C-alpha cells in the first residue's frame, strides 16, 4: 500500500496495464507532451514513447471513432477526452458505434475501448464546462459506466476497465483528483464492476452517491451523527452500469429511508432511476418517500456563490434526511 492522490492512482493503473498488455495504447488531447490536463498521464509519453501515447488533434468524434476502429482491429485503446463536456462532440460514436456494434453484429464485433473523461462542476468553469453526465451514459445499453470516488477505487476500477471486452466510460470527478488515499500496489488489484461499496455503516437512513457526490454524502453522515444522533449508511455505487441495486435495496430494507445524492440535474436524472428501483423493490420497507438531492435545474453559473447555490451540498443532504424524520 502507498498513499497517493487519485490522479496518481489512475496513472499507476495506466502504467501497470500498459506494461502488462502491449495492445493497450493511449490517445487523447494533450495527454503526451502536456502530460494531461489533469496530469493523469504525466510521464507516460517519456516512458512508453509516442507510438503508445498519442497526442491527438482536437477532434473528439474523430479520435473516439479511431479508438473504436483500433479496438475492432484487435487493440485495446484508451481515449482521453480531456473533459466530459467535450464528449457531446463524440456522442454519436459512443452511442451508435461503441455501444451497439456487438449487439448489431450479432456478437461478431466487440469494442474493448476505455474512454476517460473528467467531470463535474464546482470549479467556476461556468455552464459549458461543468457537466455531470454519468447518468446520461448509463442510459445506453451496451456501455459500462464507471465513476470512482477515491484513489484506490480509481486504480482498481481502471485496471478492471482494461480487462473488459466492452466499451467502458470512465468518469473522473475533478474534485476527486487531489484526494489522497491508500492504494494497493499489487499489479493484479482489480475492483469488479457492479459491486457497490458501503463506505459507512448505519441504521437510520441510506445515503447513496457516486463519483463526486459520495463526499457530500459522507460529510453529511458525519454531521448527522455528531449533531442529530442519526446513523446514516453511505453507499458509493462505483459503477452505474452494471448497477449494484442489491446492496442499495438490502440497505434500505435495514434503514427504511433512502436519500440519493448526485451532482447532475435532478430532472430526468439517474437519481430518478434509483428512486424508482427502490420503490419497486423496497416499497413496503420505506418509512418516507425516497429523497433526491441534486443540482438545481439551471446551467451552472460562473459566480462562486451562484454555483454553490446550484450544486448539492452536505447541508442539503442533512436537510433531506432531517425532513424524513419530521412527523
With binding defined as CB under 8 A, does residue 195 bind other proteins?
Answer: no
Distance of closest approach, residue 166 Cβ to other proteins, in angstroms: 5
Span from 28-36, 72-80, 209-217, 222-230 in contact with other proteins (CB under 8 A): 72-80
Span from 102-110, 151-159, 227-235, 275-283 in contact with other proteins (CB under 8 A): 102-110
With binding defined as CB under 8 A, does residue 144 bind other proteins?
Answer: yes
Tell me the catalytic residues. 60, 129
With binding defined as CB under 8 A, does residue 103 bind other proteins?
Answer: yes
Q: Check if the beta carbon of residue 180 is closer than 8 Å to that of residue 5.
A: yes
Place of cell 418509512: 287
Q: What's the rounded Cα separation, in Å, for the pair 292 and 273?
A: 11
According to CB under 8 A, which one of 35, 39, 42, 66 is a site residue for other proteins?
66
Distance of closest approach, residue 206 Cβ to other proteins, in angstroms: 28
Q: How many C-beta atoms surround the C-beta of residue 55 within 10 A?
A: 15
Q: What's the rounded Cα separation, in Å, for the pair 92 and 238?
A: 25
Q: How many helices (H) and strands (E) does the chain have?
A: 12, 14
Q: Check if the beta carbon of residue 210 is closer than 8 Å to that of residue 261.
A: no
According to CB under 8 A, which one of 15, 35, 61, 219 is a site residue for other proteins?
61
Distance of closest approach, residue 241 Cβ to other proteins, in angstroms: 9
Q: Which is nearer to other proteins, 59 or 309 (CB)?
A: 59
With binding defined as CB under 8 A, does residue 305 bind other proteins?
Answer: no
Q: Which is nearer to other proteins, 78 or 205 (CB)?
A: 78
With binding defined as CB under 8 A, does residue 88 bind other proteins?
Answer: no
Q: What's the rounded Cα separation, in Å, for the pair 13 and 49?
A: 17
Letters for 104-143 (x = contact with other proteins by CB under 8 A, - = none) are xxxxxxx------------------------------xx-
Q: Check if the beta carbon of residue 276 is closer than 8 Å to that of residue 245.
A: no
* Total number of residues that touch other proteins (CB under 8 A): 42
The SS3 of residue 180 is strand
Q: Which is nearer to other proteins, 89 or 179 (CB)?
A: 89
Q: Which is nearer to other proteins, 23 or 124 (CB)?
A: 23
According to CB under 8 A, which one of 14, 70, 278, 320 is a site residue for other proteins?
70
CA torsion through residues 24, 241, 139, 101, sign: positive
With binding defined as CB under 8 A, does residue 96 bind other proteins?
Answer: yes
Distance of closest approach, residue 58 Cβ to other proteins, in angstroms: 10
With binding defined as CB under 8 A, does residue 156 bind other proteins?
Answer: no
Question: What are the two backbone dihedrals, phi and then psi, of residue 155, each rounded to the nearest 5 degrees?
Answer: -70, -50
Q: Check if the beta carbon of residue 249 is closer than 8 Å to that of residue 278.
A: yes
Q: How many C-beta atoms surround the C-beta of residue 246 within 10 A?
A: 12
According to CB under 8 A, which one of 28, 65, 135, 181 is a site residue for other proteins?
65
With binding defined as CB under 8 A, does residue 28 bind other proteins?
Answer: no
CA torsion through residues 270, 145, 186, 10, sign: negative
Place of cell 463535474: 120
Q: What's the rounded Cα separation, in Å, for the pair 110 and 167?
A: 8
Q: What's the rounded Cα separation, in Å, for the pair 113 and 239?
A: 16
Distance of closest approach, residue 88 Cβ to other proteins, in angstroms: 13
Cα dihedral 100/141/7/186 (nearest 10): -90
Judged by the rule CB under 8 A, the positions of this chain that interact with other proteins are: 23, 25, 51, 54, 56-57, 59, 61-75, 77, 92-93, 96-97, 101-110, 141-142, 144, 165-166
Amino acid at each position: 500500500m502507498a498513499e497517493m492522490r487519485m490522479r496518481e492512482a489512475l496513472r499507476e493503473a495506466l502504467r501497470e496495464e500498459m506494461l502488462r498488455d502491449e495492445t493497450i495504447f493511449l490517445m487523447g488531447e494533450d495527454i503526451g507532451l502536456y502530460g494531461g490536463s489533469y496530469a493523469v498521464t504525466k510521464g507516460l509519453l517519456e516512458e512508453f514513447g509516442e507510438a503508445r501515447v498519442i497526442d491527438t488533434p482536437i477532434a473528439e468524434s474523430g479520435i473516439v471513432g479511431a479508438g473504436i476502429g483500433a479496438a475492432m482491429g484487435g487493440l485495446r485503446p484508451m481515449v482521453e477526452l480531456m473533459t466530459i463536456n467535450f464528449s457531446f462532440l463524440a456522442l454519436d460514436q459512443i452511442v451508435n458505434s461503441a455501444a451497439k456494434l456487438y449487439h448489431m453484429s450479432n456478437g461478431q464485433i466487440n469494442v474493448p475501448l476505455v474512454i476517460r473523461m473528467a467531470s463535474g462542476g464546482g470549479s467556476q468553469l461556468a455552464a459549458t464546462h461543468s457537466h455531470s453526465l454519468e447518468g446520461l451514459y448509463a442510459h445506453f445499453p451496451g456501455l459500462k459506466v464507471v465513476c470512482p470516488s477515491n484513489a484506490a477505487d480509481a486504480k482498481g476500477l481502471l485496471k478492471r476497465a482494461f480487462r473488459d471486452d466492452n466499451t467502458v466510460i470512465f468518469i473522473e470527478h475533478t474534485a476527486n483528483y487531489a484526494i489522497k488515499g491508500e492504494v494497493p500496489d499489487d499489479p493484479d488489484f482489480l475492483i469488479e464492476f457492479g459491486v457497490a461499496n458501503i463506505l459507512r455503516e448505519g441504521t437510520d437512513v441510506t445515503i447513496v452517491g457516486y463519483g463526486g457526490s459520495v463526499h457530500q454524502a459522507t460529510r453529511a453522515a458525519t454531521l448527522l451523527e455528531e449533531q442529530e444522533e442519526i446513523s446514516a449508511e453511505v453507499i458509493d455505487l462505483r459503477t452505474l452500469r452494471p448497477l449494484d441495486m442489491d446492496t442499495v435495496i438490502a440497505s434500505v430494507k435495514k434503514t427504511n429511508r433512502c436519500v440519493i445524492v448526485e451532482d447532475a440535474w435532478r430532472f430526468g436524472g439517474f437519481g430518478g432511476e434509483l428512486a424508482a428501483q427502490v420503490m419497486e423493490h423496497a416499497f413496503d420497507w420505506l418509512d418516507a418517500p425516497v429523497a433526491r438531492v441534486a443540482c438545481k435545474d439551471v446551467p451552472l453559473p460562473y459566480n462562486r456563490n451562484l454555483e454553490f447555490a446550484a450544486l448539492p451540498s452536505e447541508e442539503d443532504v442533512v436537510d433531506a434526511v432531517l425532513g424524513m424524520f419530521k412527523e
